[in-house]
Amino acid sequence: MDKKSLTKKSENISDWYTDVILASGMADYGPVRGTVVIMPYGYAIWEYIQADFNKAIKRMGVQNAYFPLFIPMKLLQKEETHVKGFAPELAVVTHGGGEKLAEPLAVRPTSETIMYEMYSKWISSWRDLPLKINQWNNVVRWEKRTYFFLRTLEFLWQEGHTAHATSDEAEEMTLSALSEYEKIYKDVYAMAGVVGRKSEAEKFAGADHTYTIEFLMPDGKALQGCTSHHLGQNFSKAFDISFQDKEGKSEFVYQTSWGLSTRSIGGLILAHGDDSGLVIPPRLAPIKAVVIPILGKKDAEVLKFCKKIKEEIQKAESIFPGDAAIWDDPDKSYGWKANNAELKGSP
């Protein structure tokens, strides 16, 4: 598909959204219904998001780790509200190694339960607090209707999980994470949203309260860009995550969890794209500039000058990530190259 056959965003935003993702080489359909393959051009955007938000994670004193993909069902069932909230979306493994498993395993829909089982082992004293861990991983939620990036069976995200001695400390952490999300959306995605607290009906299953940033999309729908949850003591009581305070009294910890996913890339596409294709902000663009030489009798001189331009652009790497490209394929016309650069949304 080229730019000419691209559905216009101004005429049918739903068809345009699918067309532009496929035509630009961001993603493709996976062999299992509801799954997608994030292609190198799309994944490069996610890498830049990771690199930027990892700086924020470190600023908040959070460390990266990794926890298992498979979760024993008994762990999910420890927090009643949590399991009810995720039950309709669970993917469950019942067989392994050619044998029926003694206990079914849930494929990670989110990591609270598997992580907090470990937190209960690691935390025993006030000296062990605060405990702040994040992981970049994939999760599976068995969605009935799927849509590139916005809603898929499997998606990528980061999920931060912290434990604190007091509710005030946990609230401060919850709001710090929310503030970092607001910064990355404003400074990196170039998107402005509405920051606020979710209603009781819409809060995370198992949270005391949930904060979010919502974005108004061009079709009039709201997109949840991220969430930051104050979990209170709901999970710590269920998983017996307790500590001895400075006075020798046993207390349950207060917890938070917060996440940003590849859904945000869908929001990026919808918010900035136009009838000609993608429009990617400079700090997320895999190709930050395209140099298209007009070749003729002085090809060598033209290409030498193009290389010089590319090198100058590369010097701005510390400001804008990404690569400059010289498109000099003699088999492609200038018009094709210009249209393709516009379709891919190069700044």
Q: What is the pLDDT of residues 295-307, one digit of tens each?
A: 887 788 888 998 9
Other beta carbons less than 10 A from residue 185's beta carbon: 23
Per-residue confidence (pLDDT) for residue 313, from 0 to 100: 81
Q: Which of 7-11, 131-135, 168-172, 306-310 has the lowest mean pLDDT?
A: 306-310
Residues 6+ apart with CB under 8 A from 118: 67
In the predicted model, is pLDDT for residue 82 greater than 70? no
DSSP one-letter code for 273: -
Per-residue confidence (pLDDT) for residue 2, from 0 to 100: 56
Residue 85: band (very low, low, confident or very high) from pLDDT cuts 50, 70, 90: low
Domains of the chain are 3-272 (3.30.930.10), 287-343 (no CATH)
In the predicted model, is pLDDT for residue 264 greater than 90? yes
Q: Is 64 left (phi over 0), alpha (psi -120 to 50) or beta?
A: beta
Average pLDDT, the chain: 92
Q: Which of 69-83, 184-198, 227-241 has the lowest mean pLDDT?
A: 69-83
Residue position matching structure tokens 């000099």: 328
Per-residue confidence (pLDDT) for residue 145, from 0 to 100: 86
Q: What is the pLDDT of residues 160-175, one digit of tens each?
A: 999 999 999 999 999 9
Helix axes 13-24, 263-272, angle to 10 degrees: 110
Instruction: Give this prediction's pTM.
Output: 0.92
Instruction: Report the pLDDT averaged over residues 71-93.
Output: 80
Residues 6+ apart with CB under 8 A from 280: 45, 268, 272, 286, 344, 345, 346, 347
Q: What is the pLDDT of residues 172-208, one digit of tens each?
A: 999 999 999 999 999 999 999 999 999 999 998 889 9
H or E element, residue 269:
helix 263-272
In the predicted model, is pLDDT for residue 115 greater than 70? yes
Per-residue confidence (pLDDT) for residue 330, from 0 to 100: 79
Q: For residues 17 and 222, is the Cβ–Cβ distance under 8 A?
A: no
Share of the chain above pLDDT 70, in %: 95
In the predicted model, is pLDDT for residue 143 greater than 90? no
Is the model more confident about 145 or about 123?
123
Q: What is the pLDDT of residues 88-98, one digit of tens each?
A: 888 999 999 99
Per-residue confidence (pLDDT) for residue 3, from 0 to 100: 56
Per-residue confidence (pLDDT) for residue 321, from 0 to 100: 63
Q: What is the pLDDT of residues 38-51, one digit of tens each?
A: 999 999 999 999 99
